[in-house]
Amino acid sequence: MAPCRLLQVGWGLRRPCGFRLAAALCAAAVVALALASASDATSSSFLGINYGRVGNNLPQPQFVLPLLEGLGIGRVRMYDADPNVLRAFARTGVELVVGVPDECLAAVADPGGAAQWLKQSVVPFLPDTKIAVLTVGNEVLTGANSSALSRTLLPAMWSLHGAVASLGLDKQITVTTAHNLGVLGTSYPPSAGAFRKDLLPFLCPILDYHARTGSPFLVNAYPYFAYSGDPRGVQLDYALLEPAYPGVPDPNSGLHYPNLLVAQVDAVYHAVAAANTAASRVVEVRVSETGWPSAGAVNETGATPQNAARYNSNAMRLVAEGKGTPLKPGVPLRAYVFALFNENLKPGLASERYYGLFKPDGTPAYELSFKLPRENSTFGHGGGGGGFGGNGNANGSSGYSGGNNGYYDISAAPRDPPVSSDSTVLSQLFLLLAIMI
């Protein structure tokens, strides 16, 4: 496993002496001003998108902004703290979920290492870049390195939370982690949801951490895998979240489940309650990844552009409605769609490389039928709302006055951003600043 190169995560390999001096002089001011964001724009919707970058043909971060603006999405989850990406999102109001890579867990598990990582990877970009959540690792308990990292996960979360709190940023930045749905040993019916017994020694104290810090329990939930693994037993329309599907009753609870995604979320809620009753009263379950591939190998059932368009359109509609699950109807479902781009270097199944709403050249992989309300956007100072770390509502308003009668969809994203676009001008300015620095 590669070591976590703390000095390279935040600053890069080379920086002029003048830059380092300026950064040192401004460090205290950055912390003092962190609670007063340069842009008050935060998406009012509970919908976000994952920005993976495992590819050698993806556009530079500054060219992502027009695509997000076209979609009307103002919440983005990234999997590291790449300084180029963080700079590109400065002063846009886009709310970021920033990942602490798995290889950094051992370093940040130590309080001194956590403080150093935060100082180098996050603090220099505040308050201009709106960083709301830090996710410590991704699917650590079920990943390839779970045996080596599982015992490190919770100490890393506590250490990083302590480092955030020591800077007075704990009201602004939430520290959590994201789990694979495979942490469940039982998921059907939802009322029987339970964690794997071998993972309970890790998950029970993690749930206590969430209860103590007020942070959400994140899960990567993919109805696609349930369908592709058992296409005869799982109805396609149920997996695709089709509104017209009659749904499935839970024989134990009597609750009616209109689609598989909310059933998966409620299975996690039941598992939380079974593992830690006290934590279940306050811990919220949120979806950190969900999506559907538009292509795959011949044996990957259901991986088509048509199904991907249907699933992601329905998922976006479901979240935009601001409703909860059958078990938690008063808690709006929050989810991040996976992913922004097709990523040609992702390992594993062929379908892993085709989850993007966009191709690497910025053209849509398919057309979505659902159009996001304009208040979902942060561009042009959108209304406040709740992401992974917030408790806002979905009633904010946006001052954006763009076209499409106040609505956005994937087909509205331009193939070549217009020269007159404000976001394009900003992107070019960001790029120029990055080159100068």
As a whole number of angstroms, the distance between CA 337 and CA 93 comes to 19
Residue 168: left (phi > 0), alpha (psi -120 to 50), or beta?
left
Residue-wise DSSP of 218-249: EEE--HHHHHHH-TTTS-HHHHTT-TTS--EE
Q: DSSP assignment, residue 373?
A: E
Establish whether 321 is a catalytic residue: no
Establish whether 289 is a catalytic residue: yes
Q: For residue 175, which phi and psi values (nearest 5 degrees)?
A: -115, 125
Give first-to-last CA distance, the chain, whole Å.
Answer: 31
For the four alpha carbons of 52, 175, 160 and 185, in that order, the dihedral sign comes to negative
With a CB cutoff of 8 Å and minimum separation 6, the contacts of 24 are none
Burial class (CB in 10 A: 0-12, 13-18, 19+), 348: exposed
As a whole number of angstroms, the distance between CA 272 and CA 361 comes to 42
Among residues 69, 139, 343, 375, which one is catalytic? 139
With a CB cutoff of 8 Å and minimum separation 6, the contacts of 316 are 47, 337, 368, 370, 372
Helix-then-strand count for the chain, H and E: 14, 14
Among residues 69, 284, 289, 343, which one is catalytic? 289
As a whole number of angstroms, the distance between CA 291 and CA 385 comes to 22
Q: CB–CB of 283/210 below 8 Å? A: yes
Q: Given the DSSP bridges, would you call strands 47-50 and 75-77 parallel, antiparallel or unpaired?
A: parallel
Catalytic residues: 139, 289
